[in-house]
Structure 1
């Protein structure tokens, strides 16, 4: 047997037996991150709901766009963990729209 073939087979076996090779941590971490964001921001939304006249529209847009980015991150990560890469790729085009919105939002703040 060729030594290159043996080493590539050994590497493939090592990757296959590695618990992190399937990258399940990204899906779980994204859900944890989304939960932390939701819990930490929830009190602020209740304050805003009680006095909506004082909230600038730019602030609301900022919250919606950035929360949508983290939701998309969670969905994308879990789609890959579920081995649904076709849906993941289609949803990736929406991430370009969100990226443009994030850049515009940051440029507007400067």
Structure 2
């Protein structure tokens, strides 16, 4: 493989700064870029998300990942809530859907 490594973990997250999807290897990443991190702090988006997450007793990152599940695979959102599918299993299916849509957008723009 010549130095190429693949992460076993991948998360699709809704960016707290620009509200777009992004792919991350880190489970706690909240923004897609440093610019969005600054924007999210300046407009207090991170603070608002933390207040809401604290009230639900979940992490902000888990909340943003759950939002990605809801937007990309709404059929899985209720299954996660009903515990008929594990959150990490749902995230794997969301990663597949995200990459499929990303690929379609790239092909469509050619």
TM-score, with normalisation over the residues of structure 1? 0.29
- For the pair shown, the structure with the greater C-alpha radius of gyration is 1
Looking at secondary structure, tell me which structure has more helix per residue: 1
Q: Which has the higher contact order (CA 8 A, sep 6+)?
A: 1
